[in-house]
């Protein structure tokens, strides 16, 4: 009986000691956890992100080939998909035809301009020469008229005194009237020559018009050349190429689909740009500054501790960039703590290819 009681007392003492030890261990771990919590800020609203390029076609058409697969690594300039070029080939052919036609019009316009530059000055010179000749003819006609007018007066006096016969007087009178007609004809010729000169000088406008037409055709050539460049550029856009080195994250189209300009067809991200965007409560941001070390775990690998460094504390809350912003014009019945995005780089990034964009993280930063 005594031995039985001794054993029971020993078990009781041992149990008490174990309980005390367990309490001490719990207090130690609880104290360490509490101390850690008091000296760190944490958040589980954190995600791995990367610079993502949403690639959209710039020309419409049927997709005839998708050359990559999701998850495939690609290099900048690598062809990702091809669009049927038939329609754009026809546009390029039309642009070539328009350019050739415009060059033909340019040649014709230049020939007309050259002809105008030759014929108009020659016509003006001829009209001036004709006016000069008409002027001399008038002087000659004037002298002849004066001579026969004087003769007419003399023979008129002789005829009135019946010194000469009527036939002789009629001859002089006829010559005088002929001289007057010649003088009038000379004056008319001068008027005609002057009008022709004005007409010839007015023809200078033909040169101006031809020069304007030539410039217009030259502008047309420039326009046709630009149209051809655009058609050629659009033709080259039938092959959609990767703008950056990266990994194909998502393919949104398939062969046979119709490509619409501006509508994303693929998504590519650059693994070298991966980072963590952690959103901390506004009450904790005062403890976070660029350059501070950060520790984090990824939900996909909860037992692996990783490290990083704060690089940017966004100077605005995440709510400011929401698609539907808050309406606080009438106040808020419940105060909502806002979250501030913090950008964190990942140490030894290339050693962690399994950290994929979109994975959730838990981040802690020492105060």
| CA–CA gap between residue 82 and residue 57 (Å, rounded) | 10
Tokens (6 digits) for 310: 């704060």
What does the H/E/C string look like for 233-252?
HHHHCCEEECCCCEEEEEEC
State the alpha helices, DSSP H only, in the chain: 2-38, 86-160, 166-202, 204-236
The pLDDT score that the predictor gives to residue 324 is 59
The pLDDT score that the predictor gives to residue 155 is 84
367 residues of the chain, pLDDT tens digit each = 455 555 566 667 667 778 778 887 777 777 777 776 778 889 999 999 998 889 999 999 999 999 999 989 999 999 999 999 999 999 999 999 999 999 999 988 888 888 888 888 888 888 888 888 888 888 898 998 888 889 888 888 887 887 777 888 888 889 888 988 988 988 898 888 888 888 888 888 888 888 888 889 999 999 999 999 999 999 999 999 999 999 999 999 999 999 999 999 999 999 999 999 999 998 888 889 999 999 999 988 888 899 999 999 988 776 666 655 665 655 555 667 888 899 999 999 988 888 999 999 999 998 8
Residues near 10 by Cβ (< 8 Å), separated by ≥ 6? none
The pLDDT score that the predictor gives to residue 7 is 58
Q: The pTM is what?
A: 0.62
The pLDDT score that the predictor gives to residue 323 is 56
The pLDDT score that the predictor gives to residue 268 is 94
Q: Which domains does the chain have, with CATH numbers?
A: 39-51+269-366 (2.40.30.170), 55-83+236-268 (2.40.50.100), 88-235 (1.10.287)
The pLDDT score that the predictor gives to residue 8 is 63
**For residue 281, how many C-alpha atoms fall within 13 Å in the half-sphere facing its CB?**
9
Residues near 126 by Cβ (< 8 Å), separated by ≥ 6? 200
The pLDDT score that the predictor gives to residue 246 is 92
Detail the DSSP E strand segments found in 231-359: 239-241, 246-251, 258-259, 266-269, 275-281, 293-298, 301-313, 339-346
Yes or no: say if 84 and 240 are a contact pair by the CB < 8 Å rule. Answer: no
| CA–CA gap between residue 355 and residue 273 (Å, rounded) | 12
């Amino acid at each position: 009986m005594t031995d039985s009681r001794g054993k029971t007392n020993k078990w009781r003492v041992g149990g008490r000691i174990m309980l005390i030890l367990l309490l001490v261990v719990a207090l130690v771990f609880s104290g360490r956890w509490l101390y850690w919590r008091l000296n760190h800020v944490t958040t589980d609203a954190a995600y791995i992100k990367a610079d993502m390029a949403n690639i959209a076609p710039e020309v419409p058409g049927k997709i005839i080939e998708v050359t990559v697969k999701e998850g495939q690594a690609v290099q900048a300039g690598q062809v990702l998909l091809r669009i049927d070029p038939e329609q754009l080939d026809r546009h390029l052919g039309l642009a070539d035809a328009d350019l050739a036609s415009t060059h033909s019009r340019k040649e014709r316009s230049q020939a007309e301009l050259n002809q105008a530059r030759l014929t108009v000055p020659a016509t003006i010179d001829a009209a001036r020469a004709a006016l000069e000749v008409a002027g001399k003819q008038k002087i000659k006609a004037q002298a002849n008229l004066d001579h026969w007018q004087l003769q007419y007066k003399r023979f008129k006096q002789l005829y009135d005194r019946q010194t000469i016969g009527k036939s002789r007087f009629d001859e002089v009178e006829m010559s005088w009237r002929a001289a007057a007609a010649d003088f009038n004809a000379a004056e008319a010729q001068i008027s005609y020559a002057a009008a022709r000169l004005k007409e010839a000088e007015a023809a200078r406008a033909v040169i101006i018009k031809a020069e304007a037409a030539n410039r217009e055709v030259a502008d047309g050539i420039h326009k046709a050349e630009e149209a051809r460049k655009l058609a050629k550029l659009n033709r080259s856009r039938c092959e959609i190429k990767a703008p950056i080195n990266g990994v194909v994250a998502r393919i949104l189209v398939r062969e046979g689909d119709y490509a619409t300009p501006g509508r994303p067809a693929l998504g590519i991200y650059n693994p070298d740009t991966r980072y963590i965007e952690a959103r901390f409560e506004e009450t904790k941001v005062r403890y976070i500054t660029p350059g501070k070390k950060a520790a984090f775990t990824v939900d996909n690998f909860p037992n692996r501790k990783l490290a990083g460094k704060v690089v940017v504390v966004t100077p605005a809350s995440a709510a400011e960039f929401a698609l539907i912003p808050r309406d606080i014009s009438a106040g808020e019945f419940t105060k909502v703590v806002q979250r501030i995005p913090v950008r964190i780089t990942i140490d030894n990034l290339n050693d962690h290819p399994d950290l994929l964009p979109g994975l959730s993280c838990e981040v802690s930063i020492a105060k």
